[in-house]
Amino acid sequence: MSALAIGLNVSQAQHLLHKTNPVAPTLAVDGLGKGTAALDGVWQFHLGDDMAWASPGYNDGEWDQIMSAKPWGLQGHDSYTGYAWYRRHITISPAPGASQDVALLIPEINDVYEIYWNGQLVGRSGHMPPHWVAYIRVPPQTYGLGPVRSGVLAVRVWKLPLVSTDDGTAGGFNGSPLIGSPEAIAAVKGDLDFKWLRSRQFHFALTSLYGLVALLGFFAWYRDRRQWLLFWTAMFSSSFVAELFLTGLRLQASYGPLTFWTQTEISLREMSQWFLLLWLLKLQDNRQLVVLTRKVALISVFASVLDGVTILLYPSLLSASGLQVADAVLTAVMIFFEIFPVMLVAYAFLHRKSLESSRWVVAAVAFLNGMVYFAENISVQGVRYTHWNLSDDLTKPLFTFAGSAINTPLLLRTLLFFSILYAVVRVYLDGRRRTSSLEQELQNARELQRVLVPSSLPVVPGFTITSAYRPAAEVGGDFFQVMPLESGSTLVLLGDVSGKGLRAAMAVSLIIGAVRALAEDHPSPARLLTQLNRRLCGHLQGGFATCVVLRLDPNGDCALSSAGHPAPFLNERELELPGALPLGISREVDYEESAFTLKIGDHFSLYTDGLLEARSPSGELYSFARLQRLFASHPSAAQATQAAINFGQDDDITVLTLTRMAVNEAMLELTPA
């Protein structure tokens, strides 16, 4: 690097700050070679706006003088917003053999700026009002000046109105510009960009993990839409990815739209965290708490989005003061609800929810994270009036890891990620184990039911008998049996056990086993049901069973008894039976018996309520009227079942039909082909 001779030293600069000098000082940069020189020291400074101030011939000797190393808010112009100008008189002497071209590196300037060299516009960041565009969190920018030797560097700046989190110290330069050869400026910029990337690598790594969890969570939820814990985990994790793209990559995005989308992202992240905590803390069954969470989420998201919209309305529909008032009111609403996750954790703790240790770890970290986030945000509101430094204390680095500064919020965010990930994986694996166990139980129930439902029917002399059994999605409790008796009669049993799955299948096996043990000793249907009921009471685990028993004699005489089951149909007419309690409710019940005779050609139908309760896509029930018309047509069991399925099956359907035949037909039926 060539030696640099700076025309003004620091002591001279400090002296000039307190002295009115009608002649602006000139910065001499001598021997500028492959290195760079800082345009530090004092700059001429003036509030307001006049394009004549870009001219090199303008006399700025009576302007104020401030340093370029720090913003104007720290140099006697706190809370100032609007236009201001910087000017610096410079002479440059290149070193022998050095590049003749000169370039500038401009650090962050709040918020919009234009750069003029000898009255000519050489660069800008954003656009000035009325159609303003401001870029924030952008890296240092470089601009070429060409083969310059002496002149005036003028910088026109416009500062946005202050919002609730501004401390009033910002405005204009945040560091001194650099001047040097294009190669030297490019090298400095590359070094600054590398240092920034290195300082953010931990943040990038953590966000990448959040993104991976979000991707896997959405994929798993899409495969099973009932897993809302996975959905809210994915939503919460994806918000950090969105935050990185919005504010963490220093993209050139306008402050107005960027604020809108950032506010929206923050509100969705907080909402996702609330619902995630509801599921992790097993509070989702509390209807009132869920409704409250939805209302709070709706208000918070609306306030956040509206707060983001206000900046888009400036200055066309909102003045600076109107913007500040709207921002203060909406921010107060948002901050009020930021304490909500802490309330959810406290509610779960006070109600002594029985949770696994992994869930309580999430609750503890979420509680700390919520408290720190709330304290940080509340302390920074109106800081230019309160001068609180709590937010600075919370966000200052605790330690450095691989070049990245780790502060309290980032540390808690990391702990929250790993605690949520651990808890969700535990919950998901436990759920899979329960699902696998349930599927195995259902499979066992199907196997048991397959054994209990007859695959073929015995020959009933003098009758044609058909049966059909169509289970719904779950294993239900329908059952039927056709049992020949030693007396020559046939016992027909059909019923429905309350409940689903293996429990219902076990109840069916108990009923069928008891009927087979009782049938020969109690051929009377009423007596059989009475004895069956006494055996079942106290053994159905709080459930019950409806049942109808028919004893059928070869001459067509029938005896029928019902325990709360839908009455059978004789041709198109429903039999009138006395009311009775289902089995398993009371031991004191004595069931009644009805007698009738089936004539040649009569069609007798027994069915479970799944036939009657078939439901169309519009929600209409199959109804007794349709049932009457169906059985009047003397359908087989398969035809009756298919009619209900076509209408819309909603439960297990079992149908059994008997048709009395003439003697010749019965003999033909019994004669082998």
pLDDT tens-digit map of 296-345: 999 999 999 999 999 999 988 899 899 989 998 998 888 888 889 888 88
458 has a pLDDT exceeding 90: no
pLDDT of residue 13: 44
Q: Phi and psi for 198 in degrees, rounded to 5? A: -65, -35
Q: Give pLDDT tens digits for 489-533.
A: 999 999 998 877 767 778 888 888 888 888 888 889 999 999 999
Q: Give pLDDT tens digits for 656-669.
A: 999 998 754 544 44
Q: How confident is the model at residue 614 (pLDDT cuts 50, 70, 90)?
A: confident
Residue 563 C-alpha from the chain's centroid: 50
pLDDT of residue 444: 63
Residues of the chain with pLDDT > 90: what percent? Answer: 45
pLDDT of residue 381: 85
Q: Distance between CA 233 and CA 214 in Å, rounded?
A: 7
Residues of the chain with pLDDT > 70: what percent? Answer: 91
Q: What is the dihedral of CA 191, 193, 196, 201, to 10 degrees?
A: -100
* Encoded tokens for 15: 């002296």
The mean pLDDT value for 413-439 works out to 80
The per-residue b/e assignment along 614-632, b for 16 or more CB within 10 angstroms, e otherwise, is beeeeeeebeeebbeebbe
Q: Give pLDDT tens digits for 251-278.
A: 888 999 999 999 999 999 999 999 988 9
Q: Give pLDDT tens digits for 390-406.
A: 888 888 988 888 788 88
Q: Distances from the Cα of 52 to the Cαs of 58, 111, 171, 464, in angstroms? A: 7, 21, 22, 110
48 has a pLDDT exceeding 90: yes
pLDDT of residue 34: 79
Q: Are 651 and 453 in contact (CB under 8 A)?
A: no
Q: Output helix, strand, coil percentages for the chain, rounded to the nearest 5.
A: 45, 20, 35
Q: How confident is the model at residue 11 (pLDDT cuts 50, 70, 90)?
A: very low
Q: Distance between CA 668 and CA 663 in Å, rounded?
A: 9
3-class DSSP state of 478: strand
The mean pLDDT value for 145-164 works out to 92
pLDDT of residue 64: 94
Q: Give pLDDT tens digits for 92-126.
A: 988 887 778 899 999 999 899 999 999 999 999 99
Arithmetic mean of pLDDT over the chain: 86
pLDDT of residue 5: 35
pLDDT of residue 673: 33
27 has a pLDDT exceeding 70: yes
Of residues 430 and 201, the one with the higher pLDDT is 201
Q: Which amino acid is at 562?
A: S
The mean pLDDT value for 419-427 works out to 83
Q: How confident is the model at residue 450 (pLDDT cuts 50, 70, 90)?
A: low
pLDDT of residue 596: 93
Q: Which amino acid is at 649?
A: Q
Q: How confident is the model at residue 195 (pLDDT cuts 50, 70, 90)?
A: very high
pLDDT of residue 663: 59
